[in-house]
Amino acid sequence: MVADPLPERFGALSLDAFLDRLASSDPVPGGGSASAVAGSVAAALVTMVTELSSGRPRFVDHESMYAWTRSEGNRLSKRLLAIADEDARAYGGFAAARKLPRDTDAERAARTHALQVAARDASEVPLACLAACRDVVAAAEALAGRSNVNAASDVLVAALLGEAAAGGAAANVRINLPSVGDEAFATELTEKVDELLHDVARLVSRAREVVISEEVREPLLEVAAT
């Protein structure tokens, strides 16, 4: 187990306190939690751009979309902070399983089973992070060319942060899969990771293109159009 217990919530820490903890020799929070926090920041930027755009006559045709991006930004920011905690606990469970005794055949079998269960959890949590980051990037892409031009760079930052967070989460899924001991499960999650990363890359590329070209886009007819 990790010697220093986890706080109730990483989100309850000050930024200084979280970064100090991240920089310490403790294994948690680590890259998984850092990815989730980065994704949460990206989601907050989505909400910020929405608030800087909503209620302005120039963007009145986008108000229905803003209702969605505001809701998504708030929801995903909270969800990703929760995932940061979940990731730390998942790794703690895996670390605890690694320390189980293995002197007898029974102990070794019990340890292997515990490791496989913990590894499955440690794979599923970052997959949830990756999926949430994909949703953040989708909201940022929707805002590109449909929001306050003075916040265009913030839209792109949200997309890029979401992409980085997604990449970090994907790496954590992949590194834990070999320990699960279930080839079918590993194949299924690998396919999901590849699909989500492809979607993220597509959305970020489009957001970058729109922001750099200063393209003004028509209102979304449906949120699913992203």
Model confidence pLDDT, tens digit, residues 179-196 = 999 999 999 999 999 999
Using H for helix, E for strand and C for coil, what is the string for 120-187?
Answer: HHHHHHHHHHHHHHHHHHHHHHHHCCCCCHHHHHHHHHHHHHHHHHHHHHHHHHHHHHHHCCCHHHHH
Neighbours of 61 (CB within 10 A): 12
Asked whether residue 7 is assigned to any structural domain, the reply reads no
Q: Could you tell me which residues come within 8 angstroms of residue 202 by beta carbon, excluding any fewer than 6 positions away?
A: none
pLDDT of residue 223: 65
Domain presence at residue 108: yes
- Is 9 a domain residue? no
Above 70 in pLDDT, residue 6? Answer: no
Tell me how crowded residue 184 is: count the other CB atoms within 10 A of its CB. Answer: 8
Domain annotation covers residue 17: no
Integer CA distances (angstroms), 126 to 116, 123, 166, 177, in order? 16, 6, 9, 11
Residue 60 buriedness (CB in 10 A; 0-12 / 13-18 / 19+): exposed
Give residue-wise pLDDT tens across range 19-33: 999 999 988 899 999
Angle, vertex CA 73, rays to CA 68 and CA 79, nearest 5: 120
* In-domain check, residue 22: no
pTM of the predicted protein model: 0.92
Q: How far is CA 7 from CA 27, 29, 32, 79, 89, in A?
A: 14, 10, 16, 17, 11
Inside any domain, residue 50: yes
Please name which of 157, 134, 161, 124 lies closest in space to residue 226, comparing C-alpha atoms. Answer: 134
Residue at 2 is within a domain:
no
Q: What is the mean pLDDT of the chain?
A: 93
Residue 149 falls within a domain, yes or no? yes
The amino acid present at 135, given as its one-letter code, is: D
CA–CA separation, 47 vs 206, rounded Å? 19
Per residue in 76-107, pLDDT (tens digit) is 999 999 999 999 999 999 999 999 999 999 99
In this structure, are residues 174 and 196 in contact, taking their beta carbons and an 8 Å threshold? no
- Domains contained in the chain, number: 1
The Cα 151–Cα 88 span in angstroms is 33
Alpha carbon distance 199, 188 (integer Å): 17
Say what the pLDDT of residue 214 is.
96
Tens digits of per-residue pLDDT, 108-154?
A: 999 999 999 999 999 999 999 999 999 999 999 999 999 999 999 99
CATH number, position 46? 1.20.120.680
- Structural domain for 140, as ranges: 28-225
In this predicted structure, what is the pLDDT of residue 8? 63
When pLDDT is cut at 50, 70 and 90, the band that residue 221 belongs to is confident
Q: How many residues does the chain have?
A: 226
Q: Which helix (H) or strand (E) holds 100?
A: none
- pLDDT of 222 reads 74
